[in-house]
Amino acid sequence: MTTAERLQSLLPRLADPPVSRPARTPAWYFWRLMFALLMAAGAYATYVRITSGLGGVTNLSDRFPWGIWVGFDVLCGVGLAAGGFTLVAAVHIFNLERYKPIVRPAVLTAFLGYLLVVVALLFDLGRPWNIWHPLIMWNPRSVMFEVAWCVTLYSTVLALEFVPAVLERFQMKRTLAWLRLISVPLVIGGVILSTLHQSSLGSLFLIVPRKLYPLWYSPMLPVMFFVSAVCAGLAMTIFESWHSSRAFGRQLEMPLLNGMARLLAVFMAVFLTIRFLDLLHRDVLGLLLVNRTETWLFWLECVLMIVPTVLLFSRRVRHNPTALYFMALMVLFGFIANRLNISITGMEAGSGVHYIPRWTEVAITLAICAAGFAVFRWAVLNLPVFQEKE
Amino acid sequence: MCIGCRACEQSCALRWNLPWNETIAAEERLSSHKLTTITTHDGVYSRRLCMHCAEPTCVSVCPVGALQKTSLGPVVYDADKCMGCRYCMTACPFQVPVYEWANRIPRVRKCDMCYGRQSAGKPTACAEGCPTGATTCGDRDALIAEAHRRMAANPGGYYQCIYGLKEVGGTSVLILSAVPFEQIGLRTDLPNQPLPGLTWAALSHVPDVVSVGSVLLGGVWWITHRREEVARAEGGPKKEPKS
C-alpha cells in the first residue's frame, strides 16, 4: 500500500464514487511520462532560479523586464480562470439554474488558476518573500496594488466557494449551513472583485503609451481585458467539460455547452466590435497595411478570434461536440495571442530589444500548467466536483 | 560644455561603491553597476541618469511605495519594501530603473540624486566631480535661469530648448544640448502631461464599479430569486429554496 493509498483509506467512503477511474491505457502511461518529464524539467529550473537568481533562468533584461511569466502565467492565467466568476454570476445571481452542474468544475478551475498564478508570481518576483507587502504598504495610485488586493481577496472568495465540495465529502453539515448563510454577499463580492482585477490587468499597460505598439495600446484596455476574460472563461469551461467527459467517461452536457457557446459568440462579437471601433477612433487602421511583424501578429490574433465567432453563430457547429471543442480552442489561442502581443511582442519595438524566453522559463510555465491539470484531476476523482448535492 | 571625461561616472561609482574601469566606462548604458553614463553621439556627448520627474511614473506604479518622491526633488528607493515586480522598470518613460539580475536578493538600482549628500547641503557627487561645470546642481528655478543664461550667451552653440522642462510634466534633471534632442538619443515623443494620470483615469472608477456593481448585482439577484419566494409562499413545500 502506498502512502497515497493509505491516506485514501482514511477518508470516509462516498456512497457513489464521484466519477469512474480512467483505465490504464497506453495513452495513460504516455501522459504520466510526459508529466514526470515536465516536473523534472521544472524542478531543475526551480533549482537554478533559487541558486542563481532571475538572470540565471530568464532572458529578461533591463530593457525587457517582463517576460512569459507575467505575459502568460499571470495575464493569461487570470483570464483563463474567469469561467469561475462568469458561471457563478450566471447561476447564483442571474438564477440560470440549468448551468448549475458546471459551476463547481468552473469554480475549481478558477481556484486552481489563481493558486497557480500566485505560484508563478513566486518565481517571477525578485523578492518573493515580500509578496504580502501590498497588504500593509499601501499605494492606492498603483494598478499593481489594486490587482494584488483583488487577487488576494478573490482567491479567498474562490476558496470559500469551492470549500462546500470538501465539506460535503466529509459530511460537515454545520459548516455547510453557515457558508450558505453568507453565500449571496460572497458571490456578489466575488463578481465585483473579478470585474475589478480582470480589467485592471489591462490598466497595467495604460502607463506605457510610448512603449506598447499602437495596435494594442488603447485607453480601452481595461474594458477589452474584462470582455476578453469573460470569453476566455467561457471557452475554458467548454474546453474543460469536453476533456473531463473524455477522461472520466461522463456524458457531455451538450444543451449547456450549446447555451454557453451562444453566450461566447455574443461576447466575442462584443469584444471584436470594441477592438475595431477602438482602432477606428484612434485613427490607426492605416497601420494594418504596414508590413511589420506587429501587423502579422495582429492578424493572427484576429483570425483566431473572428473565425470561431462567426462559426459559433451556426447551429450545426454548436451541436457538434468536436467542432464546438475546436472553436473553444481557437478562442483560447486567440485570447492567449492577444495577451502575449500586449505584454511581450507589442512591447519589443518600443523597448529596442528582442526577447525570446529561455528554455528554463518555458519549463517552469509548463510545469505549473501540468501541476494544474494534475490537481484538477485529483480533485475530480476524490471530491464531489461533478455531482453537487442539493 | 561636456568634454566626455567621464569624471561624473567615476565619482558616481565611488559614491555607490561600484567598480569603475575602462571596460565599464565603454559600456555607455545604464546597468546595475552603472547608474549614470556618458553617451557619445557622433562626437557630441550627453549624459543619462534618472530624470527625477516632478510626478514620477515609477512612484505611482509601485504597489508597495518602495519608490518615493522627496520634497527636495530626488526620487528614492527602499529595497526593504520592494517585492521585485519590476513594474517601475516597465513603466518608466526614460527606461532608467535597472535590476540586479544576477543577485539572489535583487534590488532595483537607479540614481537617487545623492539624496543623502543633498540633505546635508552638499552637491551631487557627479556635479562635484565635473571639471567643466557641464553638470551643475541646485534649485530647479535657478537651474532653469542658468540654462536660459547659457543658451542666450551662446545662441549658436545650443539647441534652444531645455529637455525636462515640460516632458511628462517636468523633471528635476534638466538637459541642454548642442543638437536636437533626438540626435543625442533622448525621447522627444513624450507627452507633456504626467503619465500617472493615465492609470488614475481607470483606477478612479474603482469606487464606481464597487458601488454600482453591488447595487445592480444585488438587484438582479433579488429580482431573479423572487419567483421562488412567490412559489414558496403560494405552493407550500413544492421545491426547496436554493442557496
Cell of A206: 495604460
pLDDT at residue number A9: 57
* pLDDT tens per residue, range A39-50: 999 999 999 999
Q: Do B243 and A204 touch (CB under 8 A)?
A: no
Cell of A337: 495571442
| Residues A188/B218, Cβ–Cβ less than 8 Å | yes
Choice among A313-322, A378-387, B133-142 with the minimum mean pLDDT: A378-387
Closest CA to B166 of B149, B150, B146, B181: B181
pLDDT at residue number A15: 47
| Residues B107/B100, Cβ–Cβ less than 8 Å | yes
Instruction: Based on the fold, state whether residues B166 and B66 are members of the same structural domain.
Output: yes
Q: What are the respective helix, strand and coil percentages of chain B, to the nearest 5?
A: 40, 10, 50
How far is A351 from A59, CA to CA, in rounded Å? 14
pLDDT at residue number A205: 96
Dihedral over Cα of A370, A372, A375, A378: its sign: negative
Instruction: Based on the fold, state whether residues B222 and B130 are members of the same structural domain.
Output: no
Instruction: Based on the fold, state whether residues B170 and B221 are members of the same structural domain.
Output: no
Chain B residues with CB-CB distance to A203 below 8 A: 199, 202-203
Instruction: Based on the fold, state whether residues B41 and B132 are members of the same structural domain.
Output: yes
How far is A74 from A151, CA to CA, in rounded Å? 11
pLDDT at residue number A25: 82
Q: Do A192 and B85 touch (CB under 8 A)?
A: no
Average pLDDT over residues A127-153: 94
A129: number of Cβ within 10 Å: 11
* pLDDT tens per residue, range A198-251: 999 999 999 999 899 999 999 999 999 999 999 999 999 999 888 888 887 777
pLDDT at residue number B233: 79
Q: Determine the residue among B33, B87, B209, B222 to mutate to test chain A binding: the one whose Cβ has the most chain A Cβ atoms within 10 Å.
A: B87
Looking at chain A, which residue has its C-alpha nearest residue B210? A192
Q: Is residue B213 part of a domain?
A: yes
| Residues B94/B187, Cβ–Cβ less than 8 Å | yes
Could you report the predicted ipTM of this complex, rounded to two decimals?
Answer: 0.88
Mark A245-263 as b/e (b = at least 16 C-beta within 10 Å).
Answer: bebbeeebbbebbebbbeb
Cell of B44: 557630441
How far is B195 from B191, CA to CA, in rounded Å? 8
How far is A387 from A163, CA to CA, in rounded Å? 14
Decide if B233 touches A, using CB distance below 8 A: no
* Type of residue at B17: N
In A125-253, which ranges are continuous DSSP H helix?
A: 133-136, 143-169, 173-181, 183-203, 221-247
Chain A residues with CB-CB distance to B194 below 8 A: none
Average pLDDT over residues A363-378: 94
Q: Do A65 and B86 touch (CB under 8 A)?
A: yes
pLDDT at residue number B237: 53
Which positions ≥6 away from A296 have C-beta within 8 Å?
none
The domain limits of chain A are 30-382
Mean pLDDT over each residue of chain A, to the nearest integer: 90
pLDDT at residue number A245: 85
Q: Domain total for chain B?
A: 2
Average pLDDT over residues A108-129: 95
| Residues B185/B41, Cβ–Cβ less than 8 Å | yes
Chain A residues with CB-CB distance to B32 below 8 A: 62
Alpha carbon separation from A161 to A44, A95, A155, B208, B233 (Å, rounded):
35, 16, 10, 25, 29
Instruction: Based on the fold, state whether residues B155 and B226 are members of the same structural domain.
Output: no
Q: Do B91 and A351 touch (CB under 8 A)?
A: no
Q: Do A192 and B240 touch (CB under 8 A)?
A: no
Dihedral over Cα of B115, B120, B125, B126: its sign: positive
Instruction: Based on the fold, state whether residues B155 and B176 are members of the same structural domain.
Output: yes
Q: Tell me the residue ranges of DSSP E strands in A265-367.
A: none
Q: Determine the residue among A51, A54, A91, A226 to mutate to test chain B binding: the one whose Cβ has the most chain B Cβ atoms within 10 Å.
A: A54
Q: Do B84 and A207 touch (CB under 8 A)?
A: no
Assign A170 to helix, strand or coil.
Answer: coil
pLDDT at residue number B243: 43
* pLDDT tens per residue, range A43-102: 999 999 999 999 999 999 999 999 999 999 999 999 999 999 999 999 999 988 889 888
Give the residue with greater pLDDT, A282 vs A246: A282
CATH classification of A30-382 is 2.40.30.10, yes or no? no
Q: Is residue B243 part of a domain?
A: no
Instruction: Based on the fold, state whether residues B170 and B192 are members of the same structural domain.
Output: yes
* Type of residue at A196: L
Per the listing, cell 527636495 goes with B72
Closest CA to B202 of A58, A48, A201, A366: A201
Strand-strand pairing, B98-99 and B75-77: unpaired
Q: How confident is the model at residue A390 (pLDDT cuts 50, 70, 90)?
A: very low
Q: Determine the residue among A73, A133, A355 to mutate to test chain B binding: the one whose Cβ has the most chain B Cβ atoms within 10 Å.
A: A133
CA end-to-end distance (rounded Å), chain A: 35
Q: How confident is the model at residue B110 (pLDDT cuts 50, 70, 90)?
A: very high
pLDDT at residue number A147: 93
Chain B residues with CB-CB distance to A53 below 8 A: 100-104, 106
Assign B38 to helix, strand or coil.
Answer: strand
Choice among A21-30, A215-224, B218-227 with the minimum mean pLDDT: A21-30
Beta bridge partners of A219: none
How far is A307 from A327, CA to CA, in rounded Å? 8
pLDDT at residue number A142: 94
Q: Is residue B1 part of a domain?
A: no
pLDDT at residue number A307: 96
Q: Which of A63, A203, A210 sits opposite B203 (nearest CB)?
A: A203
Alpha carbon separation from B71 to A27, B52, B110, B166 (Å, rounded):
66, 12, 18, 19
CA end-to-end distance (rounded Å), chain B: 76
Instruction: Based on the fold, state whether residues B118 and B214 are members of the same structural domain.
Output: no
How far is A129 from B44, CA to CA, in rounded Å? 45
DSSP state of A287: G
| Residues B101/A55, Cβ–Cβ less than 8 Å | yes
Range(s) of the domain holding residue B73: 7-198
Dihedral over Cα of B108, B109, B113, B116: its sign: positive
pLDDT(A16) > 90:
no
Q: How confident is the model at residue A10 (pLDDT cuts 50, 70, 90)?
A: low
Q: Is residue B242 part of a domain?
A: no
Beta bridge partners of B163: B175
Looking at chain A, which residue has its C-alpha nearest residue B219? A93
Instruction: Based on the fold, state whether residues B175 and B92 are members of the same structural domain.
Output: yes
How far is A343 from B90, CA to CA, in rounded Å? 10
% of chain A beyond a pLDDT of 90: 72
Beta bridge partners of B67: B77
